[in-house]
Amino acid sequence: MTVVTISSRFQIVIPKDVRERLDLKPGQKVDAIPFRGRVELIPVESIEAMRGFLRGIDTTVPRERDRV
C-alpha cells in the first residue's frame, strides 16, 4: 500500500508507480468520489475514447409475450 500526504492546500501527489500502472497523464481529469469513508479517483475518458466500447454486445431483450 502506498501512503500519500495531504498538503496544507489539500493537494496530493499520485505516486509514480500508481500513475504508470493506471497510465495517467499530466492534465488528465479524474472524478473524485467519496465512497464508504474513502476517496476514489476515477479517470475520466473522453467521448472519442469511448467510441465502440460496446461493439459486439448482445442487444436482444427478453420480452413478455404480450409485449412482442
How high is the pLDDT of residue 45?
81
Whole-model pTM: value is 0.59
- Tens of pLDDT, residue by residue over 49-58, are 778 888 888 8
Q: Give a yes or no: residue 45 inside a domain.
A: yes
The pLDDT value given to residue 20: 93
Q: How many CA atoms lie within 13 A of 67 on its CB side?
A: 4
Q: Which domain holds residue 32?
A: 16-59
4-45 pLDDT, tens digit per residue, is: 999 999 999 999 999 999 889 999 999 999 999 999 999 888
With respect to residue 7, please indicate whether it lies within any of the assigned structural domains: no
Tell whether 50 is covered by a domain: yes
Q: How far apart are CA 65 and CA 62, in angstroms?
A: 9
Report the number of distinct structural domains present in the chain.
Answer: 1
| Grid cell listed for 25 | 497523464
